[in-house]
Structure 1
Amino acid sequence: MSWLRLAAAVFIPALLLAATNAKPERTITVPPGADVQFTAISPKGDSIAGACKDGQVRVWTLPGGELRQAFNLQDQHVSSMTFADDGTLLAVGGNRGAVKIWAMPSGTLKHDIKAGVNVNALALSPNKSLLAVARQERPAELWDLDVGRVITELPAKFSGSLALAFSPDGQRLASADADTAIRVYEASTGAIRATANDLLLETFAITFSGDSKNLYAGGADKTISVIDASNGKIVTSFPKQSLVVGDLHRSPDGKFLVALYFDEKSFRNPAPAILWDIAGQSIQTNLSEPGMTPNGGGITKNGHVLHNNSTGPQLQIWSVR
């Protein structure tokens, strides 16, 4: 979510999921006035992109922490970032509607799009031919990147969408909308296929199950709902927690979810990242340290669990052992 802010990354090797102690392994120093506002981590686990206060998007290697590239949206602040599923594209949205997509790791600009208003969220389809753009207070757009045009506007008319996700098979696109509904579309056309109307509060994070049949949704109700993507019905819900769900990431094998939480009273307050066992709907690991405020993360293709933590003007790389 673009309204969350972060400045550090935590690496938890999959073989060490029972670990409880996190320690910083490396600190990346950013230039004066370039505090990292929030990040996106490549699913390949080889790089982290930081949206910096000076308007630059900086990309560092992982785990080495070397600066690889620096991009900008010219006169706009970065409001959203996401990597493609294979880590070969980085999409960045701005507060006045600019959307640029760079090839990774070369840094070549591939697409330059105008969305018109602040970009709340972005999602790239698995084959990288489609881009969904959530626009503030306006319907989300579905773009065909091969021809550079809008296929359609999604039908959520009230205040737009807060989160977007494509299914792993590329057949479906889901939007978590400001009217509290979650809508599922045919990805290629934007035709609506199902609507979940049973959630009473806003959803801030969505991701599909590994088989593309279900949708995991978390938000202001402080739980994770499992929704049947074919009909929009809630199948079950994970145990409710004390904090709001801000982000969700599914493991490549479909067995785990990383849920990043935040305190609605203040984003600066400490909050955990929880690794959930999907089948048992049970907490596998609760990742928290004093002062840590997770703000993004995921599970990479090689099984590493990542989560991010705000530390001010420096980007810290953490490991859990």
Structure 2
Amino acid sequence: MAITSDEVNFLVYRYLQESGFTHAAFVFGYESFVHKSSVNANDVPPGALITFIQKGLQYLELEANLNEENTGVNGEFAALSAHDMITKDLDELKRAVQERKERAEQVKAEQDQQRGPAPAASREAAPQEIPASQVVTLEGHQSEVFICAWSPTAPLLASGSGDSTARIWDLHGLPDGPVRPTVLKHFKQAENKAKDVTTLDWNGDGSLLATGSYDGLARIWSKEGELKNTLNNHKGPIFSLKWNKKGDLLLSGSVDKTAIVWDGKTGEVKQQFEFHTAPTLDVDWRNNTSFATCSTDKMIYVCKLGEAAPVKTFQGHQDEVNAIKWDPTGKLLASCSDDRTAKIWSLTSDKCVHDFTLHSKEIYTIKWSPSGPNTANPNQRLLLVSASFDASIRLWDVESGTCVNTLTNHTQPVYSVAFSPNGEYLASGSFDRDLHIWSVKDGTLLKTFHGQGGIFEVCWNKDGDKVAACFSNKTVCVIDLKM
């Protein structure tokens, strides 16, 4: 296999874009003539450069672990750091593998004691595979589908893609024939450049859908697909947007380092917040007028409409903060980071209330269970779930600050997790192409669907009997669970 310099340049260009280095991407693209490249942007998945490098390092890692006859691995596979593989030759790597295996044997007993019982999934029988008869595949997107969300009031599913469109799928009755979507175009007819739809959110009554795009515009659509407003104050790609519970205000966060609160009816800017020093990655409402933002600058700010300064600042993560979520009461804020930790914060404390450190790689997303006070399931305990690039999912008891279950059947990074409305089940989607349904009560893996591409997002419908998942192979699948 050979890779050309033009292809390398394109991968570097996409990496700079995806990492929020907008100006660096522009300069690099201009000097390397990326615009003349024959590479089709829609064929290149997100994170392609990192994946390409990781694959090469994995092959080197495997070679270092081979026995002298190169016929297999001596004992348990020993992982190597990227720094080792970049700086050491093959003989040094083989010695490092042997040393690590010897050290691992010495501390194995202590590690087993610390881990406690084996993860729940590994103790259970094989899960039930979801048959094709329970799956409807929605086709029509021309590029990977990054995000999907059910309407809170009707069987309408919205999806956003790298093909510069969002789509609204009417799933009344889930017919056997093709489902015809309403296509929401995020480009003018004369334009050719792809502008990924990166985020979307329904308002509380399901009458409006907001979308955010790589072109820096937020758009508000009716449920019938009519464009109501185009919001154009951001100067860079929008990575997150959320309606408040009342549905009169829309909050967005952008690579331009700012967050904006918009009037949901007129599209006018109510207030722009400029506290971060790097791209804003996520935003989340606490109530109808206050919210939190997080960024690659490692900071979290709690802000309030009408206030010129943050009402609270949370500092403690050692790397970029990927996601933030308020609990159902609005008293606790959860965050997760590339520093491999998830943290719980309270407005009554400057330091985190809990610091969850058991993941071994970056934590991509977190979700609160729909349980405890202020929920439809008040008699169930409140849990936080975290999903990581270490391929594991962990359920945390927030009151005690302990991990109550580790779910380990995925084999690649887990990008999305979602609780069912009744709080009894958890759906997870990974780049290993598997969608899993778990029991929240005991961590049992109940059902599995094997998809045809990596999964970016999973979400439940309002009745809790269907799960949607969006894939890197340009499709969206709707699974009727009949639980």
Give, in whole Å, the separation in 1 of the partners of 2:136 and 2:308.
43
Partner residue in 2 for 1:102 = 221
* CA distance in structure 2 between the partners assigned to 1:109 and 1:305 by the alignment: 34
Measured at CA, do residues 216 and 201 of structure 1 come closer, stay the same or move farther in structure 2, by a change above 3 Å?
A: same
Partner of residue 218 from structure 1, selected from 336, 352, 362: 336
Shift of 1:20: 7.0
Q: C-alpha displacement at 1:37, in angstroms?
A: 2.7
- Is the Cα contact below 8 Å between 1:43 and 1:298 reproduced in 2? no
In 1, the alpha carbon distance for the partners of 2:343 and 2:160 equals: 30
Of residues 239, 254, 261, the one that matches 1:142 is: 261
Note the C-alpha offset of 1:88.
4.5
Distance 1:108 1:250, change over 3 A: farther
Identify which of 239, 243, 247 aligns with 1:124: 243
> For residues 237 and 157 of structure 1, do their structure 2 counterparts lie closer, same or farther at Cα, with a shift above 3 Å needed?
closer
- Which structure 2 segments of 5+ residues have no match? 1-17, 20-44, 48-123, 189-194, 373-381, 432-452, 454-472
Aligned-partner SS, 2:311? strand
The answer for the alignment partner of 2:387 in structure 1 is 260
CA separation of 1:206 and 1:74: change in aligned 2, threshold 3 A: same
TM-score, normalised by the number of residues in structure 2: 0.54
Aligned pair in 2 of structure 1 residues 170, 288: CA closer, same or farther (>3 Å)? Answer: farther
Contact 1:5 1:38 in 2 (8 A): no
Q: Secondary structure at the match of 1:123?
A: strand
Q: Which residue does the alignment assign to 1:196?
A: 314
Q: For residues 201-244 of structure 1, what are the alpha-carbon distances to aligned partners after superposition, in whole Å with 9 as ceiling and x for unaligned?
A: 11101001111111000111222100113454311122421232
CA distance in 2, matches of 1:43, 1:288: 30
Find the partner of 1:186 among 293, 297, 304: 304
* Whole-Å separation in 1 of the counterparts to 2:290 and 2:268: 19
- Equivalent AA in structure 2 for residue 253 of structure 1: S
CA distance in 2: counterparts of 1:136 and 1:244, whole angstroms: 20
User: What is the letter of the counterpart of residue 477 of structure 2?
Assistant: Q
Query: What CA RMSD, in Å, does the superposition of the two structures yield over aligned residues?
Result: 3.4
Contact in 2 for aligned 1:195/1:231 (Cα 8 Å): no
Distance 1:138 1:211 in 2: 28
Aligned to 1:54: 163
Q: Distance in 2 between matches of 1:90 and 1:153?
A: 21
Aligned counterpart, 1:246: 364
* Alpha-carbon distance change, 132 to 290 in structure 1, aligned in 2, over 3 angstroms: same
Letter in 2 for 1:214: L
Does the alignment pair 1:71 with 2:197?
A: no
Alignment partner, residue 82 of structure 1: 201
Query: How many equivalent pairs are there?
Result: 298
The SS at the match of 2:256 is coil
Residues 46, 244 of structure 1: alpha-carbon distance in 2 compared, 3 angstrom cutoff: farther
Q: Which deviates the most, 40-49 or 207-216?
A: 40-49
1:320 to 1:282, Cα distance in 2 relative to 1, 3 A: farther
Determine if contact 2:221/2:228 at 8 Å carries over to the other structure.
Answer: yes
Higher strand proportion (structure 1 or 2): 1
In structure 1, the residue matched to 2:147 is: 39
Taking structure 1 as reference, are residues 154 and 320 closer, same or farther at Cα in structure 2, changes over 3 Å only? farther
The AA in structure 2 aligned to 1:41 is A
2-side partners of 1:136 and 1:221: how far apart?
Answer: 20
Counterpart pick for 2:477 among 313, 316, 319:
316
Secondary structure of the 1:96 match is: coil
Query: 2: CA distance between counterparts of 1:53 and 1:171?
Result: 32
Aligned twin of 2:324: 206
Asked if the contact 1:30/1:314 (under 8 Å) is kept, the reply is yes
CA distance in 2, matches of 1:294, 1:81: 20
Distance 1:92 1:234 in 2: 32
Change (3 A) 1:154 1:122: same
SS of residue matched to 2:187: coil
Would the alpha carbon gap of residues 228 and 63 (structure 1) be closer, same or farther in structure 2, given more than 3 Å must change? farther
Determine if the alignment matches structure 1 residue 21 to structure 2 residue 127.
yes
Aligned to 1:176: 294
Q: Which amino acid aligns with 2:323?
A: A
- Of stretches 169-178 and 186-195 in structure 1, the one that deviates more from structure 2 is 186-195
Q: Cα distance, 1:52 vs. partner?
A: 2.6
Aligned to 1:156: 275
Closer/same/farther in 2, CA of residues 87 and 256 from structure 1, 3 Å limit: farther
